[in-house]
Every structure is written in structure tokens, then in C-alpha cells.
């Protein structure tokens, strides 16, 4: 545990490590070619071995340069290998994946390793070791169990996963986390203050986070999401000490119940519920009630408003890209900017910076609420008579970029409600900054964000022509009664700028305006 070799040995350790990794790749290729081992199994062999390698790396290197150089060399090599089909034992996709995009898991793995070396090596290297070991063991267990079960209970977000595989991911992640906590207890002040039950509670909560991250990601992106999400929680825990254990465990537990309830009430789709669990786990655990109240205000009031008058708004279902049940994309579009602010918040250098980020958080929540309320209230009217925000000419109801006076007023009201929720949640900060100033700034930031959303919706957002219904729509495909999806023709905007992208820009605008004015 305390072995610290001299810096002169780092070059030798680097050469040995490089040789062993190349040997591992050669073994993987040989097993596939001569022993007819499937690529899915050779891939997991390499996955586990490299996870174990990362775990032991700090015991053989004194400085971080050479441990960082190893993944830096493999990143460009793995990009080429993926695109050109080298190392078929790692990059041969299963049959069901061949028709989809390439899997860049072998690229994301060294990217995560490189990032964590630079972030953790000189501070708390055990965080890197733990996060990468969980990835190496847990993700491999999920794949192997999922593939070995004869009749798995499958589910699909962006790719097909199995309940059995996710349970294996959770079990192995929990065991790896708890084992690492016990192993690294002498090296971490925060861990050293916890007993066995507390360590188990923390491991349980973070195993849920790791499992949710693995289930949600596709294209190998779980190799990035799992270790970085774990590293974030562990870094906050190490920075703020043992009391954060209770906050994390409680925040993750409440987030799980919140996501399950929202899914049951059909506020969220399955992918939306899992994504909301991860977002809420971050905000509830680290931000506490101060950050939780505004986002819950947005979520529940906007979700309820989306359900009100649903029958009247049903005529717009053929126009709008998505319905009232939020999926993963909508969760990220509406809450992603706040999520980013929360991730940065605990590591900011001063209290003034943290206060500014909180006002930015209120601004982004106000913007997405203003946008949602403007749309919902505007489309509930029998004869809304919208005009284009671009040229102020009348447009059909439901048209992207169309605005009404009542809808805009409703959006401003929604932004004000978020400002009031921030006052309730963080009374001392708001009153010290000036209640009236904060209410005005946050409301204006929300209104400006929603207007930017409308402008982008009327100019840059992709719009399509559905020839079967003779309508302009946000939907990329027309779905026939037999389930066949027929592409609609792009007639306006940029193909990759959909409603989620526009909503995300809306959130960014609200945050920046609030921070600038404050």
C-alpha cells in the first residue's frame, strides 16, 4: 500500500506496461482467430484486464506523466482501429449492432483513464482506481450475464439491454465499491471516518448510479459515463468529508423514488426516468433543498400543465416532435444546463462564484419553465392566433416560432414562479442580493431564454413536410399503421437542430443572462 518507487523506475514501468497491454491485445486476437472465442468475450477479457491494470498503476508509477501517456497513445490508435476494422476481437460488433453506428467503447475507456489521471493522481488517486475498477468489472459482468441468459428480460433505451445484465452490473459494482472503500480507508480521511454500515450505504447508492449510467448509454459511451459519474460523487465526498455520505445516500434514494413515481404518473418515459434519476441524484445529493426546490417546481408544475387540456392539445400531436411524456433527450434539454452548473458548483474557488452559479441555475430553470408554460398555455386556447416571432405575420397554431400574447405572458409568469421558488429555497442569498432585483433578473432571464427558443424554432430548427398528412411538422418520420417509418422531407432549418437542441440553447441563454445581470 505504501510502496512508492523512485521516478527513475517510471520509464521501465511504462515500457513493461506497454508490452503487457500489447501482449493482451495479441492474446485477444489469438483467442478469436484460433480458439474461435466470440468477440464479445474477448472484448470483456480486455475490459477486465485493463480495469485491473488501472487499479494497480499507482503502485508502479510515482509521477502521472507516464500513466497519462499510455491512454494518450491508445486513444488515436483505437479511433483508427474502430473506423478501419483493426483488432476484430475488440471491434467486431454483434449482428444487431452492425446496422447502427460504430461502437467507440475502446476509445472512451482510455479517455476516461486519461481524464481521471490528470484530475485525481496528485490529489486522491484512489478515486481513479475505484471508478475504473468498477467500470472494468461491472460493465463486463453486465454484458456476460446479459448474453448468457437464455430468455433475458430485455429493455431498450438507445440500445437493447437486459434486466439480468443490469442486476449483474449492480451486484458487481456494489462489491467492487465496498471492497475499494475498505481497501482505501487508510488513504482517505473521509472513508476513515465511516463504519462498515455507512460504507455499505455509500457503495449501494453509487452502485445504483453506475448501473443507471451503464443502462442509459450506447455506442460504448458507458465507458466514459460510468467512471466519470462515480468519480464526481467520490470527489465531492472526499472534498467535503464523511457527512457527505449521508447526503449522497439520501439524495440517490430520494431520486430513485422520484424517478419511479414520475414514470408511474407518465410524466417521464423509461429513458427519461433513468436520466432524471441521474440528474436528480446529482442535484439532490450535492445541492440539497436549495437546488432541489427550483427544479422540482419546474418539473411538477410543468408536467401537470402538460397534462391539463391534453385532449384540446391533441390536434398538435402531428406537429410537435414529442408529447407530454418527457424522454431522455427532453430531460437533458431542460435540465442539462442546471446539471452542468451543479457539477461545477462544489469545486468553485469562492463563495461569490458559487452564488453567481446559483443565480445562473435559477436563470436556466426560469428559461425552460417560461418556454414550457408559453407553449402549453398558448396551445390550450381555442383560437390562439399566433404570429411568427421572425416577421410577426400570422402562422398556424403549433408552428415553430409562433408566439401569442397570452402564451408569452404565461411564460413570464412561469419564470417568476421559479424566481419565487429560489427565494423560498435560498432566502438568505436572495435577500442579501435584493429580493426585487433577483425576482426581476430571473424573470427577465427566463423570458429572454424563451424568446430565443422561439426565434431559433422559427429559423434554425428542422421542419419537415409530411406528404401523407399534407402538414409541416417537427417529426422526422411518418409512421404508417403497419409500423413502417417513412422519412419526411426537410423543408426548413438544419437537420440536427431539433426541439431538444433549441430547448438546451434556451437553458444556456437563461443562465448566461441571469449571471450577467447579477
Identify the band that residue 101 occupies on the pLDDT scale cut at 50, 70 and 90: low
Question: Residue 42: which residues within 8 A CB-CB, separation 6 or more?
Answer: 28, 29, 31, 32, 89, 90
Look at residue 511 and tell me whether its pLDDT is greater than 90: yes
- Per DSSP, 514 falls in state H
Band (pLDDT 50/70/90 cuts) for residue 115 is: very high
CA distance 280 to 291: 10
pLDDT of residue 96: 39
What distance in Å separates the CA atoms of residue 245 and residue 386, rounded to the nearest whole number?
Answer: 51
Can you give the pLDDT at residue 315?
Answer: 52
Rounded-to-5 percentages of helix, strand, coil across the chain? 70, 5, 20
The reported pLDDT for the residue numbered 98 is 44
Q: What is the predicted pLDDT for the residue at 224?
A: 95
- Tell me the average pLDDT across 120-133: 96
Give 309-343 as a DSSP string: THHHHGGGTTTSSS-SSB-HHHHHHHHHHHHHHHH
The alpha carbons of the chain give a radius of gyration, in whole angstroms, of 25
Q: Mean per-residue pLDDT for 63-75?
A: 94
Which of 425, 445, 447, 426 is closest to 513 using CA atoms?
445
> CA-to-CA distance for 378 and 370, rounded, in angstroms?
12
Alpha carbon distance 379, 406 (integer Å): 10
Cβ contacts of 230 within 8 Å, gap of 6 or more: 130, 131, 134, 177, 206, 209, 210
pLDDT at 94: 44
Q: If you average pLDDT over residues 204-232, what whole number do you get?
A: 94
The sheet with strand 463-466 has its strands ordered as 471-473, 463-466, 489-492
> Would you list the DSSP string of 86-124?
--HHHH---GGGTTSPPP-HHHHHHHHHHHHHHHHTTT-
pLDDT of residue 505: 96
Residue 311 has pLDDT above 70, yes or no: no
pLDDT at 223: 94
Query: How confident is the model over 371-381, as pLDDT tens digits?
Result: 999 988 877 77
pLDDT at 92: 57
Which cell goes with 40?
464479445
Nearest 10 degrees: CA dihedral of 188, 190, 194, 197? Answer: -90
pTM: 0.90
Mean pLDDT lowest for which of 3-17, 26-40, 122-136, 264-278?
Answer: 3-17
Q: pLDDT for 144-196, tens place per residue?
A: 898 888 888 888 877 788 899 999 999 999 999 999 999 999 999 999 999 99
Ramachandran area for residue 241 (φ above 0: left; ψ -120 to 50: alpha; else beta): left
* Angle at alpha carbon of residue 123, lines to 120 and 124, rounded to 5°: 70
Output b/e per residue, 353-387; b: 16+ Cβ within 10 A: eebbbbbbbbbbbbbbbbbbbbbbbbbbeeebebb
Res 473: pLDDT:
78
- Give residue 324's pLDDT: 56
Averaged pLDDT for residues 422-442: 97
Residue 213 makes CB contacts below 8 A (sequence gap 6+) with: 222, 225, 226, 229, 278
Provide the pLDDT for residue 40: 82
In the chain, what are the domain boundaries? 289-461+497-518
Q: Residue 236 pLDDT more than 50? A: yes
Residue 396 dihedral angles phi and psi, to the nearest 5°: -60, 145
pLDDT at residue 15 greater than cutoff 90: yes
pLDDT band at 77 (very low <50, low <70, confident <90, very high): very high
Tell me what percent of the residues of the chain surpass a pLDDT of 70: 93
Amino acid at each position: 500500500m505504501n510502496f512508492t518507487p523512485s521516478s527513475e523506475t517510471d520509464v521501465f514501468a511504462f515500457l513493461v506496461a506497454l508490452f503487457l497491454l500489447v501482449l493482451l491485445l495479441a492474446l485477444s486476437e489469438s483467442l478469436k482467430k484460433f480458439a474461435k472465442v466470440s468477440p464479445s468475450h474477448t472484448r470483456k477479457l480486455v475490459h477486465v484486464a485493463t480495469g485491473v491494470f488501472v487499479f494497480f498503476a499507482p503502485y508502479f508509477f510515482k509521477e502521472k506523466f507516464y500513466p497519462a501517456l499510455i491512454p494518450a497513445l491508445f486513444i488515436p490508435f483505437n479511433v483508427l482501429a474502430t473506423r478501419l476494422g483493426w483488432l476484430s476481437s475488440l471491434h467486431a460488433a454483434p449482428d444487431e449492432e452492425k446496422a447502427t453506428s460504430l461502437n467507440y467503447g475502446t476509445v472512451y475507456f482510455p479517455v476516461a483513464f486519461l481524464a481521471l489521471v490528470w484530475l485525481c493522481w496528485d490529489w486522491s488517486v484512489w478515486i481513479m482506481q475505484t471508478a475504473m475498477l468498477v467500470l472494468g468489472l461491472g460493465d463486463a459482468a453486465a454484458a456476460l450475464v446479459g448474453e448468457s441468459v437464455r430468455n433475458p428480460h430485455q429493455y431498450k433505451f438507445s440500445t437493447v439491454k437486459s434486466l439480468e445484465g443490469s442486476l449483474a452490473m449492480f451486484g458487481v459494482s456494489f462489491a467492487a465499491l465496498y471492497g475499494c472503500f475498505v481497501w482505501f480507508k487508510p488513504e482517505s480521511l473521509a472513508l476513515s471516518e465511516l463504519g462498515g454500515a455507512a460504507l455499505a450505504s455509500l457503495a449501494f447508492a453509487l452502485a445504483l448510479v453506475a448501473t443507471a449510467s451503464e443502462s442509459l448509454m450506447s455506442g460504448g459511451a458507458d465507458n466514459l459515463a460510468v467512471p466519470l459519474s462515480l468519480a464526481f460523487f467520490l470527489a465531492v465526498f472526499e472534498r467535503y468529508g464523511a457527512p457527505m455520505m449521508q447526503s449522497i445516500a439520501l439524495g440517490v434514494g430520494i431520486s430513485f423514488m422520484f424517478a419511479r413515481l414520475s414514470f408511474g404518473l407518465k410524466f417521464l418515459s423509461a429513458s427519461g426516468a433513468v436520466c432524471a434519476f441521474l440528474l436528480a441524484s446529482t442535484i439532490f445529493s450535492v445541492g440539497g433543498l436549495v437546488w432541489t426546490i427550483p427544479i422540482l417546481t419546474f418539473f411538477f408544475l410543468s408536467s401537470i400543465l402538460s397534462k391539463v387540456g391534453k385532449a384540446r392539445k391533441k390536434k398538435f400531436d402531428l406537429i410537435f416532435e414529442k408529447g407530454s411524456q418527457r424522454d431522455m433527450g427532453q430531460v437533458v434539454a431542460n435540465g442539462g444546463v442546471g446539471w452542468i452548473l451543479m457539477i461545477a458548483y462544489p469545486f468553485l474557488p469562492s463563495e461569490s462564484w458559487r452564488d453567481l452559479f446559483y443565480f445562473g441555475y435559477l436563470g436556466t430553470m426560469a428559461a425552460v419553465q417560461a418556454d414550457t408554460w408559453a407553449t402549453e398555455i398558448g396551445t390550450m386556447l381555442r383560437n390562439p392566433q399566433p404570429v411568427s416571432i421572425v416577421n410577426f405575420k400570422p402562422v398556424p397554431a403549433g408552428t415553430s416560432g409562433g408566439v401569442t400574447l397570452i402564451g408569452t405572458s404565461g411564460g413570464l409568469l412561469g419564470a417568476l414562479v421559479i424566481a419565487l421558488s429560489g427565494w423560498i429555497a435560498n432566502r438568505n442569498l436572495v435577500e442579501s442580493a435584493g429580493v426585487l432585483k433577483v425576482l426581476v433578473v430571473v424573470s427577465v432571464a427566463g423570458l429572454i431564454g424563451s424568446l430565443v427558443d422561439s426565434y431559433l424554432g422559427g429559423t434554425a430548427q428542422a421542419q419537415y413536410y409530411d406528404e401523407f398528412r399534407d402538414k409541416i411538422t417537427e417529426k422526422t418520420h411518418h409512421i404508417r399503421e403497419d409500423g413502417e417509418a417513412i422519412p419526411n422531407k426537410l423543408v426548413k432549418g438544419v437537420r440536427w437542430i431539433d426541439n431538444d437542441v433549441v430547448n438546451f440553447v434556451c437553458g444556456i441563454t437563461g443562465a448566461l443572462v441571469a449571471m450577467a445581470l447579477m
